[in-house]
Structure 1
């Protein structure tokens, strides 16, 4: 694995969205390709705002966010079923990031977040403060319980935050629902790529 840091891409800036990061993202992506990367991903689901710019700038597959899966996941579900997106900060996880062309499908995606929790508070700290997996699992689990209470039609879960894959297996056991995250998208992309 090869990594690069996007200059100025602190968690609070990436989550809120800042188009001025486009050039820094492109520079980091080009450095990765020059160093031999054959696929590019990101460490925050909100980098999806830079997906189109990055895809146009490099000649390797770019998968910035699990949110890229939303259109495909909706097509797996019956029309009355819903997809729940669990985000680090639901205030910024908006329908314009979902790639849904049919407005009638917008109502089939519900979003919950853990923006009031310890995980996001730690992630926004400079320097970054690590959060215990048990804390992440508790916060994500509570969010999912609230979503399922309000929306009994939830049939699938998508974890937006790249910090959530560490609890995906526990969420699957607890909810007995299909759960997708960025690692699933990366594995899919890697499995289809010749190395």
Structure 2
């Protein structure tokens, strides 16, 4: 059985250790289709017209045998409802789907840190939290000025050294924890962050959730 991935664009990360685009990262097979025209410059700020491209990619994946569909960017959360309505397999487009569940795993006084690549585009509707008291428990940070963000917004995307990603993500998490010591877990929005998740877990000692967490959970439910 195959897990289908509908990327926003062709990724240069298909051979990088720990990348969700690298088939060797998983102990189950993945197949990939590109959502045509869904470049980062459109996906991240949001473009409702991209629903059509993601739906088409998802249907191609199902035709090829995918038993579940995932996305490659946290901001594809905007297309979750449209894609889920278009295919008869489980759809998990974004790690942000995990946010409401993770809050309930934590003690009431604890907070959840959400770390994004470009935080200025992480609008409230993407979190799926309506209760103001619960929303107050989510702390958001990002690495907007990083080399990764600059490179991923190129056409085609340019490679970024993983050590640079780790440095920027670690600095963001450290800053958030300094301001909010009650943070009890971290959720990564960006699909490229799983490459540094093990390092950030070691540095912080905190539970870290990411798109790889979501992929594994989704596949385990249908395998």
| Residue in structure 1 matched with residue 64 of structure 2 by the alignment | 35
Moved more, 174-183 or 3-12: 3-12
| Residue in structure 1 matched with residue 43 of structure 2 by the alignment | 14
| Residue in structure 2 matched with residue 141 of structure 1 by the alignment | 170
Q: Cα distance, 1:152 vs. partner?
A: 1.4
Runs of 4+ with deviation above 3 angstroms: none
| Residue in structure 1 matched with residue 107 of structure 2 by the alignment | 78
Q: How many pairs does the alignment contain?
A: 194
Rounded Cα–Cα distance in structure 1 between residues aligned with 2:181 and 2:68: 37
1:125-171 residue CA offsets vs partner (Å, 9 max, x unmatched)? 11110111100000000111111111111110001000000000000
2:64 equivalent to 1:59:
no
TM-score if structure 2 supplies the norm length? 0.85
What RMSD in Å do the two structures reach over aligned CA positions? 0.8
Structure 2 residues not aligned, in runs of 5+: 1-29
Rounded Cα–Cα distance in structure 1 between residues aligned with 2:160 and 2:91: 28
Rounded Cα–Cα distance in structure 1 between residues aligned with 2:123 and 2:187: 14
Q: Greater share of helix residues, 1 or 2? A: 1
